[in-house]
Amino acid sequence: MIRPFLICLFALCASASCSSIATAEKPNVLFISLDDLNDWVGCLGGHPQALTPNLDRLAESGALFTNAHCPAPACNPSRGAIMTGVSPHVSGLYDNRQSMRGQMPDADLLPRYFSNHGYWSAGSGKILHYIIDAQSWDEYYPPKETEDPFPRTFYPKKRPVSLPRGGPWQYIETDWAALDVTDEEFGGDYLVSKWIGEQLSQTHDKPFFLACGIYRPHEPWFVPQKYFEPFPLDEIQLPPGYLENDLDDLPPAGKKLGPNRYFPHIREQGQWKQGIQGYLASIYFADTMLGRVLDALENGPNKDNTIVVLWSDHGWHLGEKQHWQKYTGWRACTRIPLIMRVPKGVPGLPQGTVAGTTCDAPVNLLSLFPTLTQLSGLPDKETNDGPSLVPLLESPEAQWPHASITYLGRPGNFGVSGRRFRYISYDNGDEELYDIETDPYEWNNLAPKDEFASEITKLKAFLPATFAEYANNNSGASLPDLEWSPFDGTTELVSQPMHDPFEIRISNKAGEPLKIFSIDAHGGKHPYGTLETGWSKPYETRPGTIWLIANAEGQPLGYFTVGKEPAHAEVPVPNQ
């Protein structure tokens, strides 16, 4: 005799909804990053000429956070915080020159945490700072063993194309040009979107955590010609947030941080509008690649059971506060797009998100880890520092007793974003305060005015009591130098590693991005990702190990042989 409760169970499983109920216990996650994208997005209104139809359609289908901020205004600490759930003030990972694994050697990253709980975790493109971190993924494109997240990308052979270099201080990738190539010939993000689309078009044995790292609008702003065409140079509008005398009411620390060498150099070369054009074109290209991914999801078997989250690691200045690039605490740099779309039936939000909702609560990308685990019904990770966003996904007007903190390069420097006011503090005691409701571009510093002292007090209450020290900040000046050996094309490189490991610091003075490899005792090459021009990073090694340095195309330039103690290895300008 079949018991009544089994009859009910059979009847339930015979219904059309049974499979969705079962699979919804572990929804898929599509985790999309766009690099260096500020609020120049249609739905955020950052620049009137921005073309972002796919970002906008994603926002219309889910929840848009209009007051979202990055954990840090630089790739490495921001992405490190997002992927580990650990705040910079806890990890000590504050800037691009540090090593994520050097600061958090044992941290489980978001994809590994999902894999440990029954997921297939895969990704493509830039998710971390110029590394893949192979141990964190089940599969990657390009292959995770390469530790190089970038597929082949077409770049002009003769560079710079548009912006002459102002000196060795200038990042060689600060340049822009319309390329006479198709999307497929260009490669890069096109190949990332192709690989991600292929995964979305398949049925998988396990639920997936799938990360899509779209590199544009990161520099260089080289994209196919057709993405420049909607932005004729004679119609380019300057950034709405630009004000000529914007530095006048800043304290000394702000005045020092605001102007940098890039912006006056760009203006002297008559390239300001060309740079804006290149950024808009790169945003349009990135948005088009996003559209390819969204189309693959919508047309495939996973559309009804996939959480979609889209974010950028930090914003970007194009002249606001006389600044070009990132690394500041102002809203142009900390505010980023954050969109989440949650289907019905997921464990942490059975009703899903309501299409077209917006939320102006001050949130931080540090919340992505706990939000995704809660939505997916996974156990909380005890080391997560951010609050889950699920209450706001349930109701955008929900009580939110939090502020969003952005850590600015060193302990004691930070920006705090509330629902209306933003506070910036520097380690010398200088302060800034802005009323975003009446002053969205932060033109009027209210900090010196006594009537706003209470607002500063309220925002300071959200700050942590202690900050982790900045580690690995040795530029190499106090370390012995390793000898640079140019590669002659014939020397057989074989390491003789011995004894206990320690760190060397490699500095890139070559004026171009470099690929870093260690050589093993059999002559095999082990990639350690890309080292940006001008940057210095620590690498764990052993005495007797050879480190091979190659250019962006993988052609060997030279090598260092590690001695018996920590040392500094400086890569010189070629032919010097």
Catalytic, out of 70, 75, 212, 359: 75
Number of Cβ within 10 Å of residue 117's Cβ equals 15
Q: Is a pLDDT exceeding 80 seen at residue 575?
A: no
Residue 301, pLDDT score: 98
Q: What whole-number distance in Å separates Cα of residue 470 and Cα of residue 422? A: 25
- Cα 470 from chain centroid? 20
Give the pLDDT confidence score for residue 226 in this predicted structure.
98
Question: For residue range 96-135, what is the model confidence (pLDDT) as tens digits?
Answer: 888 899 899 999 999 999 999 999 999 999 999 989 999 9
- Please give the pLDDT value at position 19: 34
In this structure, the dihedral spanned by the alpha carbons of residues 242, 247, 249 and 251, taken in order and rounded to 10 degrees, is 140
Average pLDDT of the segment spanning 259-268: 96
Q: What is the mean pLDDT of the chain?
A: 92
Phi/psi for 572 (5° steps) reads -85, 170
**CA–CA dist 322, 260 (Å, integer):** 7
pLDDT of residue 248 exceeding 50, the answer is yes
Q: What is the 3-state secondary structure (H, E, C) of 148-210?
A: CCCCCECCCCCCCCCCCCCCCCCCCCCCEEEECCCHHHHECHHHHHHHHHHHHCCCCCCCEEE
The pLDDT of residue 562 is: 94
For residue 164, is pLDDT > 90?
yes
* Confidence label for 472 from pLDDT (cuts 50, 70 and 90): low
The percent of residues in the chain predicted with pLDDT above 70, rounded, is 94
* Residue of 47, 69, 129, 323 marked catalytic: 129
Yes or no: say if 234 and 305 are a contact pair by the CB < 8 Å rule. no
CA nearest to 209, candidates 300, 309, 122, 297: 122
Active site residue 323: no
Q: Burial level of 477, CB count in 10 A (0-12/13-18/19+)? A: exposed
CB-count exposure of residue 367 (10 Å: 0-12, 13-18, 19+): buried
pLDDT of residue 370: 98
Q: What's residue 91's pLDDT?
A: 97
* Section 73-98 average pLDDT: 96
Q: Is 129 a catalytic residue?
A: yes
The single-letter code of the amino acid at 396 is P
Q: For residues 471 and 103, what is the distance between their CA atoms, to the nearest angstrom?
A: 8
Average pLDDT of span 316-329: 97
- From residue 106, alpha-carbon distances to 109, 112, 133, 227, 442 in Å are 9, 12, 12, 42, 40
Cis peptide before 252 (omega within 30 of 0): no
Q: Which of 128, 313, 281 is nearest to 217 (CA)?
A: 281
> What's the CA gap between 148 and 126, in Å, rounded?
9
pLDDT tens track for 44-62: 999 999 999 999 999 999 9
pLDDT band at 406, cuts 50/70/90? very high
- Phi then psi dihedrals of residue 243, to 5 deg: -140, 125
pLDDT in tens, 426-440: 999 999 999 999 999
pLDDT of residue 480: 86
pLDDT at 394 exceeding the cut of 50: yes
Of the chain, the percentage scoring pLDDT greater than 90 comes to 83
pLDDT digits (tens, 9 = 90+) for 515-558: 999 999 999 999 998 888 888 888 889 899 999 999 988 899 99
Query: Cα–Cα distance between 294 and 519 in angstroms, integer?
Result: 41
- Cα-based torsion angle of the residue sequence 566, 571, 575, 576 in order, rounded to the nearest 10 degrees: -60
Residue range 555-566: mean pLDDT, rounded: 92
